[in-house]
Amino acid sequence: MTPLVLLWLVLGPILLPTPSPGADVAVGQASGVSLVRVAAAADLKFALDDVIARFRQTHPGVRVEPTYGSSGTIHAQLRQRAPYDIYLSADIAYPQDLVSKGIGARRDLFGYARGRLVLWVPKQSRLPVEREGLRALTGATRIAIANPRHAPYGRAAEAAMRNAGVWASAERRLVLAENVAQAAQFVESGAADAGIIAKSLVVATPMRGLGRYWDIPEAMHPPIEQGGLILPWASSRDAAVRFQQFLTGVEGQEILRRFGFGPSSK
């Protein structure tokens, strides 16, 4: 299996269909297992899968079902009452906005991590990212980032390039992805020469070794404060709270740290 096929299998399903209300919940209730449906930002794909696996070991009565996509797209769906139980956004401003609109309570709003940004290129790339950082983008034909209109990592990428003084020349060479995971896929497939993506993706086992990266200093862009919200229509509030507490507790935070996330300041 080639790295491209592996990456497609891992990242390809990162779409955000709206689940049918009630069907899975009814099945869970019939089996005595509580279902927690989590709509999560794409940068969490690998880290959250590990969190869920660890959570399952100590909470066999709760099944957590994640769906991954762009934070802005999820936010738009939740404004239409999409039937998820927990929202994990890459930008805490999105769940804060839901609360301000009466969708969710302030007590159910929480910070869980701070995202980190990297410049990532294929392993065989000649771009000197380790030596020149974002200035190396002057030699790239196509640059992949998540769409800044609805993806927090895309907005951070734009801010970092502006800060580095390369935005004016890079803007016309951008390849905009639906989310940060798709931006990584564009680079791996050859659709882009370089990408500015989440560190949590490139340090994960399926992608480790596929490319080289340079850590973008956090001072070069606004903090990527990630936050979540337990939705008011959660099918099992108790199960949703237990998962949220695990994610923000010692074990969940240690897993996020291993995937390159920083601690939330919220």
Q: What is the pLDDT of residues 10-53, one digit of tens each?
A: 444 444 555 555 555 544 554 678 999 999 999 999 999 999 99
Same domain, 103 and 228: yes
Q: Tell me, yes or no, whether 131 and 198 share the same domain.
A: yes
pLDDT of residue 3: 47
The pLDDT assigned to 208 comes to 87
Q: What is the mean pLDDT of residues 138-164?
A: 96
pLDDT digits over 57-102, tens only? 999 999 999 999 999 999 999 999 999 999 999 999 999 999 999 9
Contact call for residues 194 and 137 (beta carbons, < 8 A): yes
Instruction: Please report whether residue 265 resides in a domain.
Output: no
Contacts 24+ apart (CB under 8 A), 182-187: 182/11, 182/14, 182/42, 182/146, 183/144, 183/145, 183/146, 183/153, 183/154, 184/7, 184/11, 184/120, 184/144, 185/7, 185/8, 185/11, 185/12, 186/142, 186/144, 187/120, 187/121, 187/122, 187/144, 187/211
pTM of this structure: 0.89
* Residues of the domain holding 17: 9-114+223-258
Contacts of residue 77, Cβ cutoff 8 Å, sequence gap at least 6: 16, 18, 39
**Same domain for 247 and 228?**
yes
Domain assignment present for 94: yes
| Domains contained in the chain, number | 2
Rounded Cα gap, residues 135 and 140, in angstroms: 10
